[in-house]
């Protein structure tokens, strides 16, 4: 058994190529073989968001605080709040981030397939993000 302090691994800035706005990522764990699950705590400042992406084996988000949005490609924007649990199936193109007037923190849990747990794509543009209140589809 391993017990790790929350301060054992410091938070890091989310890479600009994968995020818009200020995002802090604190890796919580990365499983050792044969397990393949990893988990991180991600905090988005207001308006901050991920780029479009997929996960080869899906992803579970658990919203811990604040308010934000998630959207699957071709679907409507969905509001998310503290306590919500979001399951994104394998290969589903999506993004997630904070609302314009609130930060949002979630726990992200995903498994790796052949060592890879995410495939990053294009960024959600500022114009696309401005449409979230209108429930736009992309």
Question: How large a percentage of the chain has pLDDT more than 90?
Answer: 78
| DSSP-derived pairing of the beta strands 104-111 and 37-44 | antiparallel
Query: Is 135 a residue whose pLDDT tops 70?
Result: no
Is 78 domain-assigned?
yes
Q: What CATH number should be reported for the domain holding residue 116?
A: 2.60.120.10
Domain extent at residue 65: 12-120
Residue 126 lies inside a defined structural domain of this protein: no
Is residue 56 in some structural domain? Answer: yes
Number of domains in the chain: 1
pLDDT for 5: 84
Number of residues written out for the chain: 138
The pLDDT score that the predictor gives to residue 128 is 87
Burial class (CB in 10 A: 0-12, 13-18, 19+), 107: middle
Note whether residue 74 is domain-resident.
Answer: yes
Can you list the alpha helix ranges (DSSP code H) found in 1-138?
126-130
Is 134 within the bounds of a domain?
A: no
Domain for residue 19, yes or no? yes
Pairing of strands 59-72, 94-98: antiparallel
| Domain-embedded: residue 62 | yes
In a domain, 3, yes or no: no
pLDDT at residue number 113: 95
DSSP 21: S
What is the spatial distance between Cα 60 and Cα 87, in angstroms, rounded to a whole number?
Answer: 5
Q: What is the pLDDT of residues 57-97, one digit of tens each?
A: 999 999 999 999 999 999 989 999 999 999 999 999 999 99
């Amino acid at each position: 058994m391993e017990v790790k302090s929350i301060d054992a691994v410091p938070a890091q800035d989310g890479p600009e190529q994968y995020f818009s706005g200020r995002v802090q990522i604190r890796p919580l764990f990365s499983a050792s073989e044969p397990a393949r699950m990893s988990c991180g705590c991600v905090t988005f400042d207001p308006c901050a968001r991920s780029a479009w992406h997929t996960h080869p084996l899906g992803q579970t988000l658990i919203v811990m605080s604040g308010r934000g949005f998630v959207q699957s490609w071709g679907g409507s924007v969905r509001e998310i709040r503290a306590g919500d649990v979001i399951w994104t199936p394998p290969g589903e193109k999506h993004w997630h981030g904070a609302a314009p007037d609130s930060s949002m923190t979630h726990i992200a849990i995903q498994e790796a397939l052949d060592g890879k747990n995410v495939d990053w794509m294009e960024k959600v543009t500022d114009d696309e993000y401005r449409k979230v209140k209108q429930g736009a589809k992309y």
